[in-house]
Chain A
């Protein structure tokens, strides 16, 4: 098999996995295939996709962002707390909060030169505290009035399509364009593939890493906003269970944890796979409490399948 065929296969495996899972569920429950239902399932998946979309950049660098769930929870609190006071400006403040968390991760990684998993773990901890502080350690209810005025773009419906899906597709298109059409996107791939050669070519690698973390923080922030809009409240633990599935969907989609290989649509497909697996588990009767077991296993298997062994000759 040639490299090209292998590459094609790698790209197709996630899609076929998704189709197989969808058909598998449809065999139990034919109603699952109704267009309206598929749209709903996709809409439910979009918060997970948003969270994972930005982090895809970081993973493609060969780094990781463990702060995304904390950032999402934090922005949900900021949004819920500030909406009554500032209205639409609260959205911008929340997004800026997410981006700031990314800025901090980027700075810590670049200037203290410590691995991203430690840096983002620490920043995530700080963001959780910010969330507790902003929310006074409780959930903050978002009034229906605020919701319909300011959050309809995220949770409303137009011509039968949930707005979450629209937001998700816009993010998919935008980030895909950044990754495949811009020099920044190419350099993200380059750094993930062979950082030393990129440095020796005179590229400011720190800047690339910095912006990747900012995009990750921004998208996690957006995910937090959409979650808050859907649930009608912000809470410091709103997204705590989302880290594992978010990382899982990036990897399941076919982006390699070792960096250099990946795309946003892969993450999109990965998110749908995770969502369908979750629905499937409910069908089969696995309790919500045990679902993280399955996500853990899926993550291990996906990493094992996509990892670039030439880069990881030694496992630590």
Chain B
């Protein structure tokens, strides 16, 4: 049978890089195709070509058997290719229904005016498809992040039934901001959709890809290096194809996990932010790693931001080395000894316009200047030492930050707090959106930091990561601690135990 979507020898070059190198790929009708690859493997370029944002240099794209070249995402949509992007395209000031039908209001025009009732009714139908129970007339700003993601998916699905041809739905990292429960729901939805649509599923979580796809393509350095039926694939096998080498040591470096800790560094007493979390209390010692688990809306993100000085607490006490500290401003948090690694690396973690070394010494600048003048040589030497130690791939200390890959950027962010000498590292999704190889380097670094006596608070990208790395785990549910787990090597709690306390 003729595939619904087919790419033949597609090549795309950007100045200096061949982003896609003669890629052959096809998607059959009613098939779920998984697409995996490290960052920089060419996934996003492929997505952008399908979406009509980039044009192909050579090769061809066929949709429903006939050559296709989409001029814009709207054009792709009208042809039957719809997508859910990693970054949300929901407009917070519009209602759920208005977002779903953005740009297609003419369907609901009556005497030149939008028939809101009809639009809301149609939106109800779309929302039912994603099992999202909300009023289509509510403003998206009042929805939580996960619900917005569901609206995003509903928006993409609204194509179904509106055009004659079969449709392809492209899901680009749809699960990265969702928690387990919502992911399960999404997979249910995908199964239902399969009855009428083809799906391309992109994710860096290999287990999810295997769970949901019929067939998997592995991209590396712009080329398809492996194609397999999901039933014949294993996570380790796919992983090796992705990174092009074998996993040589234990993923979460559990052999390096400390079990004995130093002095107590941090005491949190009844910490509260109204509407976010209540009465959080715990102690943390030098070299100890505390994982925080919880679904979106459990208050864990706000807690991390609170320790970073970005969300002032409304109540409670924080003591560092036994002395109470105030965290109303980020600079107070930094001086108190907190080093916050934000989940949004590109907007809060790095300063794109600065060089690698300038980013590294951003927090510790006082140490590298005298009477306000920068001590360039000392700065360069120290930064080069960290670059070597963390295996940061950069041509020099002066390289602009934006030309580094995500993983290397994240290492720079981590080194910033190491150079400053933070006592407590608050890591909010430190491995979000970075490739597998870089993840391992980050895990290695986290272990090293613990060895040096840094107390670490970790919000993991996956539950597996939290369990693998932490000494103990706090589970948050609706803003309160619902459980505490010890996680020594060999006696780690399993995911099911944690999940049961999360929901």
Give the B-binding residues of A (Cβ under 8 A): 1-3, 181-184, 186-187, 189-190, 192-194, 196-204, 260-261
- B372 partner residues in chain A, CB cutoff 8 A: 182-184
Q: Is residue B309 within 8 Å, beta carbon to beta carbon, of the partner chain?
A: yes
Give the A-binding residues of B (Cβ under 8 A): 15-16, 308-310, 329-331, 333-335, 340, 342, 347-354, 358, 362-363, 365-366, 368-369, 372-374, 400, 403, 416
A193 with B348: CB separation less than 8 A: no
* CB of A80 to closest CB in B, whole Å: 35
B15 with A201: CB separation less than 8 A: no
- A183 partner residues in chain B, CB cutoff 8 A: 365-366, 368-369, 372-374
Cα A187 to Cα B362 with chains together (Å): 8
23 cross-chain CB contacts under 8 A: A1-B15, A2-B16, A3-B403, A182-B369, A182-B373, A182-B374, A183-B365, A183-B366, A187-B365, A189-B354, A190-B358, A192-B353, A193-B351, A193-B352, A193-B353, A199-B310, A199-B330, A200-B349, A201-B362, A202-B333, A202-B334, A202-B335, A204-B329
Closest residue to A5 on the B side, CB-wise?
A: B15
Q: Which of A186, A192, A194 has the most CB of B within 10 A?
A: A194
* CB of A194 to closest CB in B, whole Å: 4
A3 with B352: CB separation less than 8 A: no
B369 with A3: CB separation less than 8 A: no
Given contacts A189-B353, A197-B347, list 9 more A-B pairs with CB under 8 A. A182-B372, A183-B372, A186-B374, A189-B354, A194-B352, A197-B349, A197-B350, A200-B330, A260-B353
Contact flag A198-B362 (CB < 8 Å), given A2-B16, A183-B369? yes
- Which of A3, A194, A261 is within 8 Å of B347, CB to CB? A194
Closest residue to B341 on the A side, CB-wise?
A: A200
Q: Which of B353, B366, B400 has the most CB of A within 10 A?
A: B353
Q: Which of A1, A197, A198, A261 has the most CB of B within 10 A?
A: A197
Closest residue to A192 on the B side, CB-wise?
A: B353
Closest residue to A204 on the B side, CB-wise?
A: B331
- A2 partner residues in chain B, CB cutoff 8 A: 15-16
- B347 partner residues in chain A, CB cutoff 8 A: 194, 196-197
B363 with A202: CB separation less than 8 A: yes
B351 with A202: CB separation less than 8 A: no
Contact flag A196-B348 (CB < 8 Å), given A181-B374, A183-B365, A202-B330? yes
Cα A18 to Cα B58 with chains together (Å): 42
Cα A2 to Cα B340 with chains together (Å): 34
A200 with B374: CB separation less than 8 A: no
Contact flag A194-B351 (CB < 8 Å), given A1-B15, A3-B403? yes
* CB of B296 to closest CB in A, whole Å: 21
- A261 partner residues in chain B, CB cutoff 8 A: 353
Contact flag A202-B354 (CB < 8 Å), given A181-B374, A183-B365, A184-B372? no
B416 with A200: CB separation less than 8 A: no
Cα A60 to Cα B15 with chains together (Å): 28
- Which of B333, B353, B400 is within 8 Å of A190, CB to CB? B353
Closest residue to B353 on the A side, CB-wise?
A: A193
Cα A130 to Cα B16 with chains together (Å): 57
Q: Which of A192, A193, A197, A201 has the most CB of B within 10 A?
A: A201
Contact flag A201-B363 (CB < 8 Å), given A182-B369, A196-B347, A196-B348? yes
Cα A182 to Cα B353 with chains together (Å): 17
A202 with B331: CB separation less than 8 A: yes
A194 with B373: CB separation less than 8 A: no
Cα A183 to Cα B369 with chains together (Å): 7
* CB of A278 to closest CB in B, whole Å: 32
- B349 partner residues in chain A, CB cutoff 8 A: 197, 200
Cα A183 to Cα B371 with chains together (Å): 9
- A187 partner residues in chain B, CB cutoff 8 A: 365
B331 with A203: CB separation less than 8 A: yes
B351 with A197: CB separation less than 8 A: yes
- B308 partner residues in chain A, CB cutoff 8 A: 200
Closest residue to B16 on the A side, CB-wise?
A: A2
- A260 partner residues in chain B, CB cutoff 8 A: 353
- A3 partner residues in chain B, CB cutoff 8 A: 400, 403
- A200 partner residues in chain B, CB cutoff 8 A: 308, 310, 330, 340, 342, 348-349
* CB of B335 to closest CB in A, whole Å: 7
- Which of B310, B358, B362, B374 is within 8 Å of A203, CB to CB? B362
Cα A196 to Cα B343 with chains together (Å): 13
* CB of B101 to closest CB in A, whole Å: 21
Contact flag A186-B348 (CB < 8 Å), given A3-B403, A204-B331? no
Contact flag A190-B363 (CB < 8 Å), given A181-B374, A196-B348? no
Cα A193 to Cα B374 with chains together (Å): 19
Closest residue to A60 on the B side, CB-wise?
A: B353
- A197 partner residues in chain B, CB cutoff 8 A: 347-351, 362
* CB of B325 to closest CB in A, whole Å: 13
A201 with B373: CB separation less than 8 A: no
A190 with B374: CB separation less than 8 A: no
* CB of B498 to closest CB in A, whole Å: 29
- A186 partner residues in chain B, CB cutoff 8 A: 354, 358, 365, 374
Cα A64 to Cα B340 with chains together (Å): 31
Cα A197 to Cα B348 with chains together (Å): 4
Cα A193 to Cα B349 with chains together (Å): 12
Cα A189 to Cα B354 with chains together (Å): 8
* CB of A8 to closest CB in B, whole Å: 14
Cα A200 to Cα B362 with chains together (Å): 10
* CB of A139 to closest CB in B, whole Å: 40
* CB of B61 to closest CB in A, whole Å: 27
A201 with B416: CB separation less than 8 A: yes
Q: Which of B347, B354, B363 has the most CB of A within 10 A?
A: B354
- B16 partner residues in chain A, CB cutoff 8 A: 2
- B335 partner residues in chain A, CB cutoff 8 A: 202
Cα A192 to Cα B353 with chains together (Å): 8
B354 with A193: CB separation less than 8 A: yes
Cα A2 to Cα B399 with chains together (Å): 13
A202 with B309: CB separation less than 8 A: yes
Closest residue to A261 on the B side, CB-wise?
A: B353
Q: Which of B310, B351, B362, B363 has the most CB of A within 10 A?
A: B351
- Which of A184, A196, A201 is within 8 Å of B334, CB to CB? A201
- B366 partner residues in chain A, CB cutoff 8 A: 183
- Which of A181, A190, A196, A199 is within 8 Å of B354, CB to CB? A190
- A194 partner residues in chain B, CB cutoff 8 A: 347, 350-353
- B329 partner residues in chain A, CB cutoff 8 A: 204
- Which of A181, A190, A192, A204 is within 8 Å of B362, CB to CB? A190
- A184 partner residues in chain B, CB cutoff 8 A: 372
Cα A186 to Cα B365 with chains together (Å): 10
- B348 partner residues in chain A, CB cutoff 8 A: 196-197, 200
Cα A190 to Cα B353 with chains together (Å): 7
A181 with B373: CB separation less than 8 A: yes
Closest residue to A184 on the B side, CB-wise?
A: B372
